[in-house]
Amino acid sequence: MSYIDVIKEREDLVSPGISACAGCGGELVLRKVLQVAGSNTIVAVPPGCMAGAGVIGWNFDSGMKVPVCIPLLDNTASFLSGLSHVYQRKGRGDVNIVAFAGDGASADCGFQSLSGAAERNEKILYICYDNEGYMNTGYQRSSTSSLGSMTSTTPIGSKTAGKQQHQKYMPLIMAMHHIEYCATASPSNMSDLIAKVTKGLEASKNGFAYLHVFSPCPTGWGYDPNLSIEVARQAVRSNLFPLWEMDSAGMRLSYTNRSPVSVAQFAKNIRKFRGLTDDNLASLQALADARYQTICNLAGVS
Ligand SMILES: Cc1ncc(C[n+]2csc(CCOP(=O)(O)OP(=O)(O)O)c2C)c(N)n1
Ligand code: SF4
Ligand SMILES: [Mg+2]
C-alpha cells in the first residue's frame, strides 16, 4: 500500500476532538502513526502534550480507538517491556506495542528506562515526538532544546540569551544501543515517515525499534500554525535534522542534501530563536554541517 493510500484509506484512530493546538506537529505524527499501525495496537503515551490533549482520555472516555494507557513520565519503556512480555507469553506477539513519548519523557526523565529496554532489545516500537521542550507544562527547556532557544527556563534578557547548550542528539545515542531498527523522520517527508513506521513495527516483532520524529510546536516555538510543515522541511534541509535509518545492514541516508539551506534561513521566522547571537548562529551552523557529515560518514556516502 502506498503512503497516499495509507493516509487516504486507513481509519484515523485518534478522536477528532482532541485539544492539541492548531498546527501541532506531534498530533499530526500521532494520527499518521496510528493509521499505519492499525487497530491491533496498544499505545502508551506518557504525560505530555499528547496525553494532556485528551488522547488518553477524559470523563472516563478515551481519545483513541485502540487501547491506550498513561505510564509515568519516566517509565514508559519499562512499562511497555512488561506489557510486551505478557503478550509474547500469551502467544500474541502479533500485537503492536507502541510508545508515543515526548522528548522530556525520552531524552531526560525516561532515558534510563528507555536505554534499559533498548539494551535488552525488548519487542517495542518507541517513538519520540521531539518538540524540543517540556511543552505541556509551559515550555521548559529539555536536553533536546536547541542552542539559543528561548524557553520559560532559558529566557532571553540582559543576562542570558536562551539555552546555553547544544541539544543532545538522541537518535544516534539510540542507534548505538545495537537495536533492531533506528531512524529519524519528519512530517515534511511523509512517505519516508510512513515507510519508517512500517519498518519500525516490523522490526519490533524481533526487538527494539526507535523512531525520532521532528515535531514542530507553533505555540511554544512562536510561528504561524500553518507553517509547521515548512518549519519541519527547513529543519531537514538545513541538516539540523538529517533523515536516516539504521538496521543490521548498517546506516542509510534517507535524504541526500546536495544544497542545504542555512540555519539562519531555518531560524529566521521562529520566535524562540529571536535572541540568537552571531556566535550561537555560527555554532548551530557548524553543528548542522558536522551532524550531516557524521551521518554521511556512517552511511558511507562521500
Ligand atoms: C516525574 C514527573 N515530573 C514532572 C511531571 C510534570 N509533567 C507532566 S507533562 C510534562 C512535560 C513533558 O514534556 P515532553 O515529554 O517533552 O512532552 P511535551 O509536553 O513536550 O509533549 C511534565 C514536566 C510529571 N508528570 N512527572
Ligand atoms: S503546545 Fe505545542 S506540542 Fe503542545 S499541543 Fe500545542 S502545538 Fe502541540
Ligand atoms: Mg517535548
- The second-level CATH assignment, the architecture, of 3-299 is 3-Layer(aba) Sandwich (3.40)
Cα→Cα distances 143→26, 44, 46, 68, 157, Å = 18, 22, 17, 27, 21
Mean pLDDT by 10 residues, the chain (302 residues): 85 92 97 97 97 84 92 98 98 98 98 98 98 98 98 93 97 98 98 97 98 98 98 98 98 96 97 96 98 98 90
pTM, entire model = 0.98
Binding-site residues, ligand 2, Cβ < 6 A = 20-21, 24, 26, 49, 53, 131, 135, 217-220
The model's pLDDT over 186-223, given as tens digits with 9 standing for 90+, comes to 999 999 999 999 999 999 999 999 999 999 999 999 99
All 3 cell numbers of residue 286?
557548524
Q: Which of 21, 56, 134 to mutate to test the pocket of ligand 2 (most atoms within 8 A of CB)?
A: 21
Ligand 3 centre and the CA of 262: distance in Å? Answer: 25
Burial (CB count within 10 angstroms: exposed 0-12, middle 13-18, buried 19+), residue 257: middle
Residue 102 CB–ligand 1 contact under 6 Å: yes
The model's pLDDT over 60-80, given as tens digits with 9 standing for 90+, comes to 788 999 999 999 999 999 999
Ligand 1 centre and the CA of 72: distance in Å? Answer: 9
Ligand 3 centre and the CA of 90: distance in Å? Answer: 34
Bridge-based pairing of strands 250-253 and 244-247 is antiparallel
Task: Give every CB contact of residue 255 below 8 A, 6+ residues apart in sequence.
Answer: 189, 192, 236, 242, 243
* Atom of ligand 2 lying closest to residue 131 CA: 3
Domain assignments of the chain as residue spans, ordered by start = 3-299
